[in-house]
Amino acid sequence: MPREGILVPNPYERITDEQVQQIHQASLQILVDPGLICFSKKAAEIFQSNGAEVAAVASADHPHWHIKIPEKLVTEALDNAPKTVKLGARNPDNALIMKGDEPRVYFISGSETNIWLDVDFPTYVKKSDSSIEIKVPEFHPRRATVADLCQSAHVCEHLETLDGYIRTVNIQDEDITEDNKDVNKFFASLNNTTKHFMSGLTKLEQLDNVVRMAELIAGGKEALKENPIISFITCLVKSPLQFVADTTDTFIEVCRRGLPTAVSSSPQAGTTAPIKEAGIMAQINAEVLAGITLGQLVNKETPMLYGSVPVMARMDTLSDSYGSVETSQYNIDCVQMARFYKIPNYSTSGVCDAKIPGQQSSIERLFSDIVVTLSGPQFLHCAYGLLDCNAVFCLLQAVLDDAHFQMIKFFLKTPRINQQELVETMKQIREVVETPQKLYIGYIRQVMRSGEISPPYPFEGDGESDSVFALAYQRMNELLAKPVEHIDPETTAKIFQEIPGLLPRLNVYKEGK
Amino acid sequence: MTEDDIIARLKENVIQGRKTQQDEGIDEKLSGTPGVVELTRLALEKRISLEEIINALTAGMRVVGEKYSSKEYFIPDMLASAEAVGEAMEILKPLLEAANVETKGKFAIATVHGDIHDIGKNIVAILLRGAGYEVNDLGTDVPTEKIIEFIKKESPDYLGLSALLTTTMTEMGVVIEALKDSGLRDRVKVLIGGAAVSDEYAQGIGADAYCVDGFQAIKVLDSFQQAKTS
Ligand code: B12
């Protein structure tokens, strides 16, 4: 049985069918005029041999090609791309099955920030009355490490609403190099969660090591195909309209191996995309279609997600303003485009502009979490713990976000109105109005215990104090104290034998551990 | 059913808050089986002593109190149990009177003139009945004269007044003045409650106590009882 996520009964739609068609047509035109610039020789060759118009552009330092993708190639790719994508998991009950035309939402973390935010609670004494002390949360940013990645995977394993794990932070330990980063981030994550793991790849040369590791865990090549416990994120198109050399090459190799991949594009309205909604939509859709076309040309029917991370630019810093209302609008538009193509959508919500957890972060993230979820994307990533325009990850915030998604999931339960319920409750009504107190209390006690009514906010303190952070912190530590199911000792030993570059300290079975 | 069974079931059904056979309670397994009312009647038929019946009800209620303190139970659970016990006491009342057993006292309660809020008042009434008081609910929007009349006639030990509006809370002061004027003030202790009023307000109008909720009312009444006996 795969995870349930939450099925959105009547997904919210921002744009009309006609507008969807208009965007689709505009994107097809963009793919021909102006077309794309391509810095990957392999991709240029693939497009050329399949009938796209490819012209080399003379350049001294970076050889590149000008590519015009005809409509026919795009339409064929859209036909060939699987409409159902399965993302497997170490625990098969944690698999995700995504159908492009079914608005079932899975909630996923993200997204490789450099900064990890620690929290502690120093005591402050009131100046005018030293008998009064309060504990105030203080947040301390620092460079993230592989230990942090393990911790966050561990907590994410236990967050009830979290359906899949995208590596949260970029590991920057002294002994982590470009060459060993991939194997270590995959192992650290896979060893601490039994949920699906998705990640970008730092170095193409590491792809086969990572895939081999996944095969060892899944139980072989075929088993990994059946149960793809890992998948990849590839931002192969840099906005506006440029196939990047290394990511595109990585993407091609991932597609060749038939592993699932999110074909992601992240244009910023105002800088790397038009500020107008129509413009950014036509462009991002063209960029994703270009990626999907390439992937299907490489390996027909290879599983892929329509990856959309459109954002608005902050006018003061030109950072990605995930907290802005427009960002949610663009994301919902993309959900509709993906559903039009019936390809599962990798969408975005929850990231805030605020630098630390607090009122601003709560408002920004809850807003986008609600509205984007209501539109029914299949794979909602970045949804836990991300702050400061996606530059910072805070585990405490991830625990708070889990509570938000509990509320959203509860809200989306299907209404229970049917003839039987009506008949039963009408009987209640008639009985209660006859009693002196006229209270329905006698009929709520089983319901109260059935999970049918929503629980109060889990981090509510006593009296008039706001203890949300302190209680969420306590919860976070409880989750860290709960064990996780690591990869078994035998497989771990095999992995450490076969896969070069793993840090010995990640082996939980090593003596002294 | 043996006598021991009846007593055990009585206690269990108080804990489950099942007033009658129709009540759903918490545990689905009990649905359709006799509730506190039926069991109390059965106990009387089988000539189980009043003391034993009351002990079973009280023991059940004690467990409910513990579950409430430990947050396993919520207010609706407490109310359901209190209502069940209250109903049982109603059945036992004539027998208790005949046997000359004193109840904890008579408690008259009313929402004052001009005010129709009664959820809080009803909850207080249920809880007090469950705690062993004989409760007379006079209703909502009760004119002062009607309250005075009742007290003259029935001589309750306590009078509870509820008001939720700042415009109707003054009516509580009016009732207390009327009690004085009719020479009844010393015969009845006055408790007030409701969102509009406070401790200070109670003192201002000369009420005997202000209660934030029904649980506090039980405590306050117990303290009055203790003062009486000592
Ligand atoms: C529900 C409600 C209603 C319902 C009442 C339904 C009913 N069957 O009672 C309806 C919709 C009918 C209603 C009507 C009105 N309401 Co109204 N209502 C409320 C509300 C939201 C909740 C009251 C409630 O039931 N609370 C839950 C119970 C369990 O709590 P409780 O009543 O406080 O009782 C507990 C304790 O106070 C204590 N207690 C209470 N009484 C007693 C008595 C004794 C002896 C003891 C020991 C303890 C005790 O124990 C109880 C149990 O724990 C309050 C807001 C609020 N926060 O109080 C407004 C509120 C009381 N209503 C208000 C108003 C203005 C009105 C109306 C005038 C509105 C209108 N313009 O029509 C009318 C009043 C009409 C009238 N003449 O009375 C205002 C009053 C403001 C003010 N001036 O003081 C309030 C405060 C809302 C607001 N903020 O504006 N209301």
> What fold, for B3-98?
1.10.1240
Q: Does B212 contact chain A (CB < 8 Å)? A: no
Q: Are residues A310 and A368 in the same domain?
A: yes
To test the pocket of ligand 1, the residue of B107, B109, B112, B117 to mutate (highest count of ligand atoms within 8 Å of its CB) is B117
Task: Assess contact for B20 and B32: CB atoms under 8 A.
Answer: no
**Domain spans of chain B?**
3-98, 106-229
Average pLDDT for A392-402: 98
Q: Let me know if residue A479 belongs to a domain.
A: no
To test the pocket of ligand 1, the residue of B128, B164, B168, B222 to mutate (highest count of ligand atoms within 8 Å of its CB) is B164
**Given pLDDT bands bounded at 50, 70 and 90, which one contains residue A511?**
low
Q: Is the CB of B175 under 6 A from ligand 1?
A: no
**Given pLDDT bands bounded at 50, 70 and 90, which one contains residue A389?**
very high
Can you name the residues that pair with A108 across neighbouring β-strands?
A164
Q: Name the residue range of residue A238's domain.
A: 6-16+79-411
Q: Are residues A376 and A431 in the same domain?
A: no
The token pair at A33 is: 């005029």
Residue A209: pLDDT over 90: yes
Q: Let me know if residue A248 belongs to a domain.
A: yes
Q: Does residue A111 have a cis peptide bond before it, meaning omega lies within 30 degrees of 0?
A: yes
| CA B122 to ligand 1 centroid distance, Å | 12
Q: Let me know if residue A273 belongs to a domain.
A: yes
Q: Are residues A100 and A163 in the same domain?
A: yes
Residue A512: pLDDT over 70: no
Q: Determine, for residues A446 and B24 on separate chains, whether the beta-carbon distance falls below 8 Å.
A: yes
Average pLDDT for A322-341: 97
Q: Let me know if residue A61 belongs to a domain.
A: no
A218-266 confidence digits (pLDDT tens): 999 999 999 999 999 999 999 999 999 999 999 999 999 999 999 999 9
The token pair at B43 is: 């106990």
Distance (Å) from the C-alpha of residue A383 to the closest C-alpha of chain B? 32
Q: Are residues A370 and A431 in the same domain?
A: no
Q: Can you tell me the distance from the alpha carbon of A340 to that of A289, in angstroms, rounded to the nearest whole number?
A: 12
Q: Let me know if residue A402 belongs to a domain.
A: yes
Task: Assess contact for A210 and A200: CB atoms under 8 A.
Answer: no
Task: Assess contact for B52 and B34: CB atoms under 8 A.
Answer: no
Q: B106-229, superfamily in CATH? A: Cobalamin-binding domain (3.40.50.280)
Distance (Å) from the C-alpha of residue A444 to the closest C-alpha of chain B? 8
Task: Assess contact for A37 and A241: CB atoms under 8 A.
Answer: yes
Q: Are residues A392 and A439 in the same domain?
A: no
Q: Are residues A442 and A321 in the same domain?
A: no
Residue in this structure with the two tokens 């706001």, named with its chain if needed: A466
**Given pLDDT bands bounded at 50, 70 and 90, which one contains residue A304?**
very high
Residue A340: predicted pLDDT: 98
Q: Are residues A425 and A341 in the same domain?
A: no
Which residues 6+ apart lie within 8 Å of A78 measured at CB? A289, A292, A341, A343
| CA B192 to ligand 1 centroid distance, Å | 14
Task: Assess contact for A242 and A288: CB atoms under 8 A.
Answer: no
Q: Are residues A125 and A198 in the same domain?
A: yes
> At A323, phi and psi to the nearest 5?
-75, -10
Quote the strand ranges of B119-194, DSSP E. 134-142, 158-162, 189-193
Of A251, A239, A342, nearest to A282 (Cα)? A239
- Evaluated on CA atoms A253, A166, A311, A202, the torsion sign reads negative
| CA A438 to ligand 1 centroid distance, Å | 15
| CA B77 to ligand 1 centroid distance, Å | 22
Q: Are residues A393 and A437 in the same domain?
A: no
Give whichever of A110-114, A156-160, B218-222 has the largest mean pLDDT. A156-160
H-helix or E-strand spanning residue A339: helix A325-341
Q: Are residues A250 and A299 in the same domain?
A: yes
Task: Assess contact for A344 and A108: CB atoms under 8 A.
Answer: no
Average pLDDT for A65-88: 98
Task: Assess contact for A162 and A131: CB atoms under 8 A.
Answer: no
Helix (H, G, I), strand (E, B) or coil at B164: coil
Mean pLDDT of all residues in chain A?
Answer: 96
Residues of A in contact with B79 (CB under 8 A): 439, 441
Q: Does B126 contact chain A (CB < 8 Å)? A: yes
Q: Can you tell me the distance from the alpha carbon of A285 to that of A78, in angstroms, rounded to the nearest whole number?
A: 13
Number of domains in chain A: 2
Can you name the residues that pair with B210 across neighbouring β-strands?
B192
Helix (H, G, I), strand (E, B) or coil at B2: coil
A479-505 confidence digits (pLDDT tens): 999 999 999 999 999 999 999 999 999
Residue B119: predicted pLDDT: 86
Task: Assess contact for A375 and A340: CB atoms under 8 A.
Answer: no
Q: Let me know if residue A49 belongs to a domain.
A: no
Q: Does B35 contact chain A (CB < 8 Å)? A: no
Q: Can you tell me the distance from the alpha carbon of A483 to that of A472, in angstroms, rounded to the nearest whole number?
A: 19
Give the DSSP letter string of A261-317.
EEEEE--EETTTB-SSHHHHHHHHHHHHHHHHHHHHHHSTT--EEEEE--EEEPTTT
Q: Can you tell me the distance from the alpha carbon of A129 to that of A148, in angstroms, rounded to the nearest whole number?
A: 39
Q: Can you tell me the distance from the alpha carbon of B38 to that of B52, in angstroms, rounded to the nearest whole number?
A: 16
Q: Can you tell me the distance from the alpha carbon of A296 to that of A298, in angstroms, rounded to the nearest whole number?
A: 5
Output the residue whose Cα is nearest ligand 1's atom 80: B165
A449-478 confidence digits (pLDDT tens): 888 899 999 999 988 889 999 999 999 999
For residue A144, what is the domain's CATH number?
A: 3.20.20.480
Q: Does A441 contact chain B (CB < 8 Å)? A: yes
Q: Which of A359, A387, A411 is the last residue of a domain?
A: A411
Q: Can you tell me the distance from the alpha carbon of A122 to that of A480, in angstroms, rounded to the nearest whole number?
A: 21
Q: Let me know if residue A277 belongs to a domain.
A: yes
Residue A442: pLDDT over 90: no
Output the residue whose Cα is nearest ligand 1's atom 42: B193
Residue A438: predicted pLDDT: 87
Q: Does B134 contact chain A (CB < 8 Å)? A: no
Average pLDDT for A405-410: 97
Q: Let me know if residue A458 belongs to a domain.
A: no
Q: Are residues A358 and A398 in the same domain?
A: yes
Residue A58: predicted pLDDT: 85
Residue B131: predicted pLDDT: 87
Interface contacts (A, B; CB < 8 Å): 36
| CA A34 to ligand 1 centroid distance, Å | 68
Average pLDDT for A325-330: 98
Q: Can you tell me the distance from the alpha carbon of A126 to that of A267, in angstroms, rounded to the nearest whole number?
A: 48
pLDDT < 70 stretches in chain B: none
Residue A441: pLDDT over 90: no
Q: Are residues A205 and A158 in the same domain?
A: yes
Atom of ligand 1 nearest to the CA of B161: 45
Residue A513: pLDDT over 80: no
